[in-house]
Structure 1
Amino acid sequence: MDDDRKRAILNANQSVYDAIEGGDIDLMRSLWADRDDVVCVHPGAEPLRGHATVSRSWSMVMANTGYIQFFLTDVSVSFAGDDTAIVTCTENVLAEAEGESADTFAGGKAVATNVFVRDRRGWLLLMRHASPVVIVEEGDEE
């Protein structure tokens, strides 16, 4: 695998998380391909289609999110031809606990698939799907 191409994809993928953590909607909009066939599936939600709809959803997410930080693990990159790349990873999330004081945090985990396509602007998101990982506490098993 071409190291430069892999590095470019990992940088593009990291930019997604930088945008979320920084609440930077302009950066997030710039990371998506400007196409009607883009798709975003937020954890536990229905698929959203089209650049404008996906951008609006990120505006809402960022407007309603306090502190959030992602620790990515199990990051894997694969390529489908020269112009499509797929990144899978586990998102270990630390966030401000909803309804609690600003110094109270909650954790969570999701598995994400980010599909990038290359155009004249570089590597851009075509599809993102994040699914929550249900963590079963000891003693909660059936």
Structure 2
Amino acid sequence: MSRAPAVHLLASPDDVEVQFYEALREADLDKLMALWADDDEVVCVHPGGPRLIGIGAIRVAFEAMFQNGPVRAVPERVRRVQTLDSAMHNLVERVEFMSAEGPRTGHVLATNVYVKTPAGWRIVAHHASPGTEAEVPEIIEAPAVLH
């Protein structure tokens, strides 16, 4: 008898995002995959990798990634755009990893897209850019109108 993944109520895109990064840090493939929408067109792009389309391709890629252990990624500086049934989060992932010189920290720009389904919010896209060890700069446009 297989055990159901420990996924909690997905009442908001933020709930999904918290569990997504927990699943990465726990290397919990079943938990991670339970967060994805049941749709043939879901997409994932890992830093420098190909575009993965469909649950099967995404599962295989994360399974291979977890062969190296957990992914110590922490979301920071999240920017959110949300409607009634979709949301987009753009963020900086702070990734801790071991190098030949010892522990290091890198930064990856990522975009996560969520949709509201009858089963709650789910991921439909995760896109991460190649990382850098330097802090990721931001250019923020100042509002043209002051209230």
Same topology, TM > 0.5: yes
TM normalised by structure 2 equals 0.77
Uncovered stretches (5+) of structure 1, i.e. residues with no partner: 1-6, 137-142
User: What's the RMSD between the two structures over aligned residues?
Assistant: 1.9
Aligned length: 124
What is the correspondence of 1:7-18 to structure 2 with a 5 Å cutoff? 8-18=12-22
Q: Return the offset for 1:135.
A: 4.8
Q: Going by fraction, where is helix more abundant, 1 or 2?
A: 1
- Identity, % of aligned pairs? 30
Q: Return the offset for 1:71.
A: 2.9
- 2:83 matched to 1:85? no
Decide whether aligned partners of structure 1 residues 26 and 59 sit closer, same or farther in structure 2, where only a CA change above 3 A counts: same
Q: Return the offset for 1:121.
A: 1.3
**Residue 38 (structure 2) aligns with:** 34
**Residue 129 (structure 1) aligns with:** 127
**Residue 96 (structure 1) aligns with:** 98
Distance in 1 (alpha carbons) for counterparts of 2:14 and 2:98: 26
Decide whether aligned partners of structure 1 residues 59 and 67 sit closer, same or farther in structure 2, where only a CA change above 3 A counts: closer
Runs of 4+ in 1 over 3 A off after TM superposition: 133-136
